[in-house]
């Protein structure tokens, strides 16, 4: 494998993980929103998971990538997403608590 293939593999993994994180953010915001839209959010979460599995399968099966670098790209984005989530979670919970208090 050439270095271009390794960089491409890493970039594809990073792009897929980034798109997955953005979709997950959208679905979770829907779940935390209005109670009448939670069923739709659950369906969206299942659909997101199915699309993720399909995209990863297509990439592994049909693209000439280095699987190790592809998984490294997926993992880096996952770790970065978890760090961002941990850093922002306190602010998100505080906003949610204020919103609940405003509703009462």
Mean pLDDT, the chain, integer: 82
- Provide the pLDDT confidence category of residue 94 given band limits of 50, 70 and 90: low
Evaluate whether 80 touches 14 at the Cβ level (below 8 Å).
no
34 HSE (CA, 13 A, CB side): 3
d(CA 100, CA 98): 5
Residue 2: pLDDT band with limits 50, 70, 90: confident
Write the CB contacts of 28 (distance below 8 Å, at least 6 apart in sequence).
41
Q: Where are the domains of the chain?
A: 3-103
């Amino acid at each position: 494998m050439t270095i271009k293939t390794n960089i491409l593999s890493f970039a594809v993994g990073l792009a897929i993980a980034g798109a997955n994180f953005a979709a997950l953010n959208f679905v979770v915001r829907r779940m935390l929103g209005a109670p009448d839209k939670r069923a739709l959010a659950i369906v969206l979460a299942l659909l997101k998971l199915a699309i993720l599995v399909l995209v990863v399968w297509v990439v592994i099966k049909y693209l000439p990538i280095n699987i190790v670098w592809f998984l490294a790209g997926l993992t880096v984005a996952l770790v970065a997403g978890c760090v961002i989530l941990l850093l922002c979670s306190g602010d998100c919970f505080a906003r949610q608590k204020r919103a609940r208090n405003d509703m009462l």
